């Protein structure tokens, strides 16, 4: 055992184990099915007791931090206080929990759920899935249907924490990472703590970067499968932060959303991309562009006006611009999202669903939103050459998309064999490292000229 290894817990003797079990069972008996009678202080005590029992019995303990995403915006939709949404969620949960599990609302939109006495940490992920399926059915509040998207951060003893408060902190960090990466679940990892600490120090530098134009856009080419030529590109945000180095686009957006400047960052991206396209057009090159929108962008009623202003400022042909949204971006506020997407569509721009197949209720998006394009997530592309199941899925998605009049883009294409398979299946566009990573504008346009 090295100095960095966690101390090995001894197998408990029979008397110690029996004492721990009696303490554990007594705590359960005190409130056999009162899942939600626990206060935060009581939760800490319950976690500590569960850890003590787990240490003696060689059992795992998990804490799930469940966030009802966008619940702070639900009042604007249905006129119902956030507290009412939380009450409905807490009433729904018992059917997804064991008698031994405990839960407490730790904020307006977060529920901490303690899962003691687990045989393995994998049980926590299975339990999280059951909880998510239970909550994402939605609630009827004052006669109106309210949908939430439950996102879960998971931390376990002994893998991620030895103390109760540490388990709470790590599960909270994990749910933040899940939100940042648009994941349904995220299990805490050691580097997440470092990333979280860094995140706390990036808000002020991001504001300064936006003010002083330190952000950059890079462009990843998209290839027409039929001709093999470059026809368009996805614009991707880059930020080389002083003292921190390169910051991922997802982290930039998370910080921007948390600090209330996501609208300003989005406006910068749109105007910078359209200005760059106009510059290339003066050189005789038309590069159609795809731009990403975040979850909060789709609740911003001013977004369509900002897009219209940018189109006019740079004299942009609207049909050469595609806005990409993720499936999960519209879940919790689908009514407002649909209204904003319709207004964008009326401007003449195109709309695409990104990472198709990884979010919620995938097929409903084809029916309910005015989409022009569908991007198949790299998850289904990377094993396409060898996986018959992935081939069947991709073939079906392409056929379905074409039936709806949509083009299909495959992302994450990394070799010619995958390209040939996608061509055989009828895919329209591809992008990935088989052709080029995202490039700085000057490098990109040189590459594009040679391949268009």
Nearest to 153 by CA among 55, 67, 92, 224: 67
What is the C-alpha separation between 353 and 393, in angstroms, rounded? 17
Residue 140 in 3-state DSSP?
Answer: strand
Asked whether 303 and 297 are in contact (CB, 8 A), the reply is: yes
Higher pLDDT pick, 285 / 247:
285
What is the C-alpha separation between 417 and 423, in angstroms, rounded? 10
User: Taking 50 as the threshold, does the pLDDT of residue 335 lie above it?
Assistant: yes
In this prediction the pTM is: 0.61
Higher pLDDT pick, 201 / 303:
303
Q: How far is CA 425 from the centre of its chain?
A: 29
Question: For the segment 152-184, what is each residue's pLDDT rounded down to a tens digit?
Answer: 999 999 999 888 888 988 898 899 888 877 788
Residues of the chain by 3-state class (helix, strand, coil), percent to 5: 50, 20, 30
- The arithmetic mean of pLDDT across residues 34-39, rounded, is 48
End-to-end CA distance of the chain: 58
Confidence category of residue 196, pLDDT binned at 50, 70, 90: low
Nearest to 445 by CA among 225, 285, 243, 265: 285
Confidence category of residue 281, pLDDT binned at 50, 70, 90: very high
Cβ-Cβ contacts under 8 Å for 347 (sequence gap 6 or more): 304, 307, 308, 311, 318
Crossing angle of helices 262-282 and 249-259, in 10° steps, is 130
What is the C-alpha separation between 304 and 306, in angstroms, rounded? 5
- The arithmetic mean of pLDDT across residues 326-347, rounded, is 77
Question: For the segment 227-277, what is each residue's pLDDT rounded down to a tens digit?
Answer: 999 999 999 999 988 877 787 787 788 788 767 788 999 999 999 999 999
User: Taking 50 as the threshold, does the pLDDT of residue 353 lie above it?
Assistant: yes
Q: Which of 80-94, 120-134, 363-377 has the lowest mean pLDDT?
A: 80-94
Q: Which helix (H) or strand (E) element contains residue 89?
A: helix 82-92
- The arithmetic mean of pLDDT across residues 20-44, rounded, is 47
- Predicted local confidence at residue 334, as pLDDT: 67
Which sign does the torsion angle of CA 391, 184, 215, 265 carry? positive
User: Taking 50 as the threshold, does the pLDDT of residue 5 lie above it?
Assistant: no
Contacts made by residues 341-345, CB under 8 angstroms, sequence distance 24+: 341/298, 341/369, 341/370, 342/370, 343/304, 344/303, 344/304, 344/307, 345/370
- Predicted local confidence at residue 78, as pLDDT: 39
In 187-289, alpha helices (H): 190-200, 203-211, 249-259, 262-282
Q: Which of 34-38, 94-98, 226-230 has the lowest mean pLDDT?
A: 34-38
Question: For the segment 135-148, what is each residue's pLDDT rounded down to a tens digit?
Answer: 988 888 777 777 78
Question: For the segment 253-264, what is each residue's pLDDT rounded down to a tens digit?
Answer: 878 876 778 899
- The arithmetic mean of pLDDT across residues 319-335, rounded, is 75
Domains of the chain (ranges; CATH) run 14-198 (3.30.70.270), 205-451 (3.20.20.450)
User: Taking 60 as the threshold, does the pLDDT of residue 215 lie above it?
Assistant: yes
Confidence category of residue 30, pLDDT binned at 50, 70, 90: very low
- Predicted local confidence at residue 253, as pLDDT: 83
Question: For the segment 46-61, what is each residue's pLDDT rounded down to a tens digit?
Answer: 999 999 999 899 899 9
- Predicted local confidence at residue 251, as pLDDT: 76
Question: For the segment 305-317, what is each residue's pLDDT rounded down to a tens digit?
Answer: 999 999 999 999 9
Q: Which helix (H) or strand (E) element contains residue 410?
A: strand 407-411
- Predicted local confidence at residue 321, as pLDDT: 98
Asked whether 188 and 172 are in contact (CB, 8 A), the reply is: no
User: Taking 50 as the threshold, does the pLDDT of residue 24 lie above it?
Assistant: no
The mean of the pLDDT values for the chain is 82
The tokens describing 116, both together, are 């003691």
Cβ-Cβ contacts under 8 Å for 223 (sequence gap 6 or more): 229, 230, 231, 429, 430, 431, 435, 451
């Amino acid at each position: 055992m090295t100095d960095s290894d966690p101390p090995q817990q001894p197998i408990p003797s029979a008397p110690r184990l029996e004492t721990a079990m009696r303490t554990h069972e007594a705590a359960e008996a005190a409130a056999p099915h009162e899942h939600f009678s626990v206060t935060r202080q009581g939760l800490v005590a319950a976690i500590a007791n569960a850890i003590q029992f787990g240490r003696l019995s060689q059992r795992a303990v998990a804490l799930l931090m469940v966030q009802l995403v966008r619940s702070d915006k639900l009042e604007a939709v249905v006129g119902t206080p956030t507290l009412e949404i939380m009450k409905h969620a807490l009433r729904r949960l018992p059917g997804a929990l064991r008698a031994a599990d405990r839960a407490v609302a730790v904020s307006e939109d977060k529920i901490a759920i303690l899962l003691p006495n687990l045989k393995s940490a994998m049980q926590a992920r299975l339990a999280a899935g059951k909880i998510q399926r239970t909550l994402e059915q939605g609630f009827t509040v004052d006669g109106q249907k309210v949908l939430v998207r439950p996102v879960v951060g998971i931390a376990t003893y002994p893998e991620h924490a030895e103390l109760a408060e540490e388990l709470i902190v790590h599960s909270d960090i994990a749910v933040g990472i899940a939100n940042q990466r648009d994941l349904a679940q995220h299990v805490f990892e050691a580097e997440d703590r470092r990333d979280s600490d860094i995140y706390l120090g990036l808000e002020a530098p991001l504001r300064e970067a936006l003010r002083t134009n330190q952000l950059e856009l890079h462009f990843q080419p998209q290839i027409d499968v039929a001709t093999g030529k470059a026809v368009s590109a996805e614009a991707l945000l880059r930020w080389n932060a002083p003292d921190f180095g390169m910051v991922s686009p997802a982290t930039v957006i998370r910080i921007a959303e948390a600090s209330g400047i996501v609208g300003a960052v989005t406006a910068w991206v749109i105007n910078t991309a359209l200005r760059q396209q106009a510059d290339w057009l003066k050189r005789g090159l038309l590069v159609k562009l795809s731009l990403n929108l975040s979850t909060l962008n789709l609740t911003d009623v001013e977004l369509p006006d900002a897009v219209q202003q940018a189109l006019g400022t740079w004299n942009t042909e609207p049909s050469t611009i595609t806005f990409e949204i993720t499936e999960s971006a519209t879940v919790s506020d689908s009514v407002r999202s649909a209204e904003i997407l319709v207004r964008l569509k009326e401007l003449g721009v195109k709309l695409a669903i990104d990472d198709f197949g990884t979010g919620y209720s995938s097929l409903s998006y084809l029916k309910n939103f005015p989409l022009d394009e569908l991007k198949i997530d790299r998850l289904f592309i990377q094993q396409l050459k060898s996986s018959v199941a992935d081939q069947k899925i991709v073939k079906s998605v392409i056929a379905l998309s074409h039936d709806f009049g949509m083009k299909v883009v495959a992302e994450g294409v990394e070799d010619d064999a995958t390209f040939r398979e996608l061509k055989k299946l009828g895919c329209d566009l591809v992008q990935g490292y088989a052709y080029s990573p995202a490039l700085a504008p000057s490098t990109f346009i040189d590459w594009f000229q040679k391949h268009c």
